[in-house]
């Protein structure tokens, strides 16, 4: 992995730790009031809390898990958001279309933008700083197998958190409800975590 001088590494680590601590301190109470505790079952919210914890605990395994959790989905979110900005709201995917909904208060959209934009660089910094632990793939896959059914059990269909009821808003799926949930539990980690695992292994070797 390419080396930065120790002073720069320490400065950036402190900066990321402070940034994520502030984001958590602001977002958690606001989201609790606005959306309720179940909203933190979103993998992006898990990523935010997990990266903050990894920075404070200096945990290689937890940081690696959160990098797997957010790298590909949040990159796609950023692409969706940026294409929406360029095209006046016609985003490339539905992931960030809510960012252009005037019915949602501007401060809520600003908070959402702040933490989504921070996730990928924060995750990559944790891996750069502490290294990538290959055990994270199995651990994060196991976490997903727990989060998906819990999300289905605790959250309403209209929220469609982690797409457990279907794809998009409103949720749609060609499968029955049980089959769709099984698909998400088995296929989502394979499509999201496995490619991210190999990318992070290569990143950690640089």
What was the pLDDT predicted at 2?
56
Residue that wins the pLDDT comparison between 22 and 172: 22
What was the pLDDT predicted at 53?
97
pLDDT in tens, 66-100: 999 999 999 999 999 999 888 876 776 778 888 99
Return the percentage of the chain with pLDDT > 70, whole number: 97
What was the pLDDT predicted at 204?
84
Q: What φ, ψ does residue 97 adopt, rounded to 5°?
A: -65, -30
Residue 194 has pLDDT above 90, yes or no: yes
3 state DSSP class of 104: coil
Q: What is the pTM of this model?
A: 0.92
- Any idea what the Cα angle at residue 54 is, between residues 80 and 78, rounded to 5°? 5
Q: What share of the chain is helix, strand, coil (3-state, %, to 5)?
A: 80, 0, 20
Question: The tokens 């606001």 sit on which residue?
Answer: 30
DSSP code of 5?
P
118/9 Cα distance (integer angstroms): 18
* Average pLDDT over every residue of 100-117: 93
How does residue 206 score in pLDDT terms, banded at 50, 70 and 90? low
195/143 Cα distance (integer angstroms): 17
Number of H helices, E strands in the chain: 6, 0
* Average pLDDT over every residue of 3-32: 93
Domain limits, the chain: 6-205
17/10 Cα distance (integer angstroms): 10
* Average pLDDT over every residue of 102-114: 93
How far is CA 76 from its chain centroid? 10
Residue 203 has pLDDT above 70, yes or no: yes
- For 30, the enclosing helix (H) or strand (E) is helix 6-35
pLDDT in tens, 167-179: 877 777 888 888 8
pLDDT in tens, 32-53: 999 999 999 999 999 999 999 9
Identify the CA nearest to 68 among candidates 205, 203, 195.
195
Helices 177-205 and 136-154 pack at an angle, to 10 degrees, of 150
Question: The tokens 């539990």 sit on which residue?
Answer: 185
* Average pLDDT over every residue of 13-31: 95
| Mean pLDDT, the chain, whole residue set | 91
Residue 156 has pLDDT above 80, yes or no: yes
Identify the CA nearest to 57 among candidates 21, 3, 11.
21
């Amino acid at each position: 992995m390419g080396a930065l001088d120790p002073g720069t590494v320490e400065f950036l680590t402190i900066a990321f730790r402070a940034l994520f601590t502030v984001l958590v301190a602001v977002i958690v109470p606001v989201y609790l009031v606005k959306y309720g505790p179940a909203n933190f079952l979103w993998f992006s919210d898990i990523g935010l809390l997990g990266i903050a914890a990894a920075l404070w605990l200096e945990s290689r395994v937890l940081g690696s898990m959160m990098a797997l959790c957010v790298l590909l989905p949040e990159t796609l979110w950023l692409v969706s958001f940026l294409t929406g900005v360029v095209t006046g709201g016609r985003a490339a995917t539905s992931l960030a279309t809510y960012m252009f909904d005037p019915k949602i208060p501007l401060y809520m959209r600003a908070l959402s933008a702040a933490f989504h934009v921070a996730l990928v660089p924060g995750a990559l910094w944790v891996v750069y700083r502490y290294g990538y632990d290959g055990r994270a793939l199995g651990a994060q896959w196991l976490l997903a197998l727990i989060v998906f059914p819990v999300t289905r059990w605790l959250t309403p269909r209209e929220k469609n958190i982690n797409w457990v009821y279907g794809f998009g808003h409103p949720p749609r799926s060609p499968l029955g409800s049980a089959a769709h949930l099984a698909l998400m539990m088995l296929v989502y980690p394979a499509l999201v975590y496995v490619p991210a695992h190999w990318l992070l292994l290569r990143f950690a070797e640089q």
